[in-house]
Structure 1
Amino acid sequence: MVKINILYASTEGNTTSFVTKLTDIAAENGDIVVARCIGEETDYANETAPFVAIVPTYLTGGTGTGPEVTEIFTNALGDYIAFGRNRQYLKGVIGSGNRNFNVQFNLTATRYAQRFNVPMLFAYELRGSKFDAEKAYHIIKPLFGE
């Protein structure tokens, strides 16, 4: 049995829906997902085990990818990862977004991966499908052991 730790942000329930699918896939394979939603009300804590971050894309300030485009709603997760030594346990980032936003699709997760110098592992649209959750599971499971 592999224990997969996930920290995520969800404002409209899309990411929570994806995490539920991912949790179900892991359980079908005899593994366990321990997931925590990080928001503005979350108290900072020192992480002590590896984790993957899952972050949706919510932006304001334009239609491109430049510095005028800023993150909204997901900053609490970024601040939590930056707290103390938490970043040393971050193994990678999974992102979501709406493909209708073209170059901004998955931009938040791409920025997290760059900011924390970890791989961008996978991207899915909106709530993701069961197939997306299966792909993500097979990508992240090896990061936590076999």
Structure 2
Amino acid sequence: MITLRFVYISLSGNTASFVRRMSQYLEERHGDAIAIETVDIKELIREDHSFYAMQGDFVAFLPTYLEGGNGIDNGDQEILTNPLGDFIAFEDNFKNCLGIVGSGNRNFNNQYCLTAKQYSQRFGFPVLDDFEMRGMTDDIKRIAEKIEKLYKI
């Protein structure tokens, strides 16, 4: 059995919905051949649990929440999603991160999924893909296929 691990933070519920629907899709495709573990950073913090070292590879999912700047020449500042970065940095968890999937709103142009791109640069793992808002069925299938290749299933 292969264990897929997804670490995410979701503020509006969009990222949580995507991770849940993609997990269901993968479970339908692979049945008992896989197990899926999810870590909801927001719930981890809410329940006053400490960060911990991840045991095994994982994929991170991150929405984009920024303030200030335009994302190109006059800066920006990540807001609200910083705990995911703190978790990835904790105990060198970034070394087990296979990559990150960003989400956002295309109306924000250059800032669309910018936080995922920044995490990629900061930690040295790839941006695997992105989706807008809650994601569509095609997004789930496309990103699930990339995850299947990463985990060799």
Q: What is the CA distance between 1:3 and its match in structure 2?
A: 2.1
Supply the distance in 2 between the matched residues of 1:33 and 1:114 (Cα, whole angstroms): 27
Asked if the contact 1:2/1:141 (under 8 Å) is kept, the reply is no
Quick one: which amino acid aligns to residue 115 of structure 2? T
Which has more helix, going by share of residues? Answer: 2
1:19 aligns to 2:19 (yes or no): yes
Supply the distance in 2 between the matched residues of 1:67 and 1:137 (Cα, whole angstroms): 35
Deviations 1:50-76 (A, max 9, x none): 000000000001223356301011100
Aligned with 1:94: secondary structure?
strand
Quick one: which amino acid aligns to residue 47 of structure 1? M
Supply the distance in 1 between the matched residues of 2:35 and 2:97 (Cα, whole angstroms): 18
TM-score normalised to structure 2 length: 0.89
Q: 1:125 aligns with which of 132, 137, 140?
A: 132
Aligned ranges for residues 1-146 of structure 1 at < 5 Å?
1-30=1-30, 31-39=34-42, 40-41=45-46, 42-66=49-73, 68-146=75-153
CA RMSD of aligned residues (A): 1.4
Asked if the contact 1:65/1:107 (under 8 Å) is kept, the reply is no
How many matched pairs? 146
TM-score normalised to structure 1 length: 0.93
Asked if the contact 1:49/1:89 (under 8 Å) is kept, the reply is yes
Supply the distance in 2 between the matched residues of 1:79 and 1:67 (Cα, whole angstroms): 24
Q: What is the CA distance between 1:20 and its match in structure 2?
A: 1.1
Name the % identity: 39
- Which structure is higher in RCO with an 8 Å CA cutoff and minimum separation 6? 1
- Bigger Cα displacement from structure 2, 28-37 vs 95-104: 28-37
Structure 1: gaps spanning 5 or more residues: none
Aligned with 2:98: secondary structure?
strand
Asked if the contact 2:71/2:114 (under 8 Å) is kept, the reply is no
- Bigger Cα displacement from structure 2, 113-122 vs 29-38: 29-38
Deviations 1:120-145 (A, max 9, x none): 10000000012111111100122223
List structure 1 runs of 4+ shifted beyond 4 angstroms. none
